[in-house]
Amino acid sequence: MRKQIAAANWKMNLTLQEANELLDSIAEKNIQLSEDQIAVFAVPFPYLLLANDKLKNSKGYLVAAQNCFTKESGAYTGEVSAPMLASCNVGYVIIGHSERREYFNENNFTLSQKVDVCLSNNLKPIFCCGESLAIREGGTQNGYVETQLKESIFHLEASQIENFVIAYEPIWAIGTGKTASADQAQEMHAHIRNVFAEKYGNEVANSISILYGGSVKANNAKEIFGKPDVDGGLVGGASLNASEFGLIIQSLKN
């Protein structure tokens, strides 16, 4: 089975003390993961080393960054590079979250550069895609998401795609309390997998974990994750609560 992943995206939340407490509470829950399951924690940059340390004895619990810069080093004040993240034992990097696209003008081309710099530093991208409400209402979401994937990822070789996680996050469902229905998620995930299959073949397409993101909570995770092409979730608000996120981890397929 491809990896089933519960990924926490803390976004720009929590002080150091709060981060400490949340990581301790999660580690204390001691939720055991199967070989095919992982839990990923995308914490703010200052907490990466702390998170790695707190989770080091929890098998299958990994740390992610929420972003990285396109260049490997140099005079780019305030940026964080992929080699820096790799040297801090970070396994994954969220690339192209809709908040970065919207507030920091990241476009499909910038994101293709970020994907490249991650892969050349052995970091696995959690590549986000997803449409706005206007696009969904216009019924053109499939083509829109396909273009996001093609313009940022399809220059890669099949062997590089195996290192990818895709997160489908419809913007209208992020932080709104309004989830896509499990059927809407499944429909888009099947489409995404099909787009990969057409370019890279079925074997590669079937190996990619595709996560759903957008108001995933403990009370809807099981239904959404139960769909055949949904391999877990990328979770914002509900990942800031240890009990809630613990239940979400336990909703993964096994």
Q: CB under 6 A: which stretch of 130-138, 146-154, 188-196, 229-237 binds ligand 13P?
A: 229-237
Residue 133 as a binder of ligand 13P (CB under 6 A): the answer is: no
Looking at the Cβ atoms of 175 and 201, the one nearer to ligand 13P is 175
DSSP bridge pairs for 126: 94, 165
The residue range among 55-63, 117-125, 197-205, 233-241 that interacts with ligand 13P, by the rule CB under 6 A, is: 233-241
- Residue 231 backbone phi and psi in degrees, to 5: -105, 30
Give the integer Cα–Cα distance in Å for 84 and 200: 31
Give, in degrees to the nearest 5, the angle at Cα 119 between 112 and 83.
Answer: 105
Cα angle at 20 between 13 and 220, to 5 degrees?
55
Determine, following the binding rule CB under 6 A, whether residue 235 of this chain makes contact with ligand 13P: yes
Distance from C-alpha of 216 to C-alpha of 219, rounded to nearest angstrom: 8
Stretch of residues binding ligand 13P (CB under 6 A), selected from 24-32, 49-57, 183-191, 210-218: 210-218
What is the pattern of x (binds ligand 13P, CB under 6 A) and - over residues 48-87?
----------------------------------------
Q: Where are the beta strands (DSSP E) in 10-91?
A: 37-42, 61-65
The residue at minimum Cβ distance from ligand 13P is: 236
Q: Helix or strand or coil: residue 47?
A: helix
Cβ-contact 201, 159 below 8 angstroms:
no
Catalytic positions, written as ranges:
97, 169
Please identify which residue in 151, 197, 237, 242 interacts with ligand 13P, judged by CB under 6 A: 237
Give the one residue of 234, 247, 248, 252 binding ligand 13P; rule: CB under 6 A.
234
Residues in touch with ligand 13P (CB under 6 A)? 9, 97, 169, 174-175, 213-216, 234-238
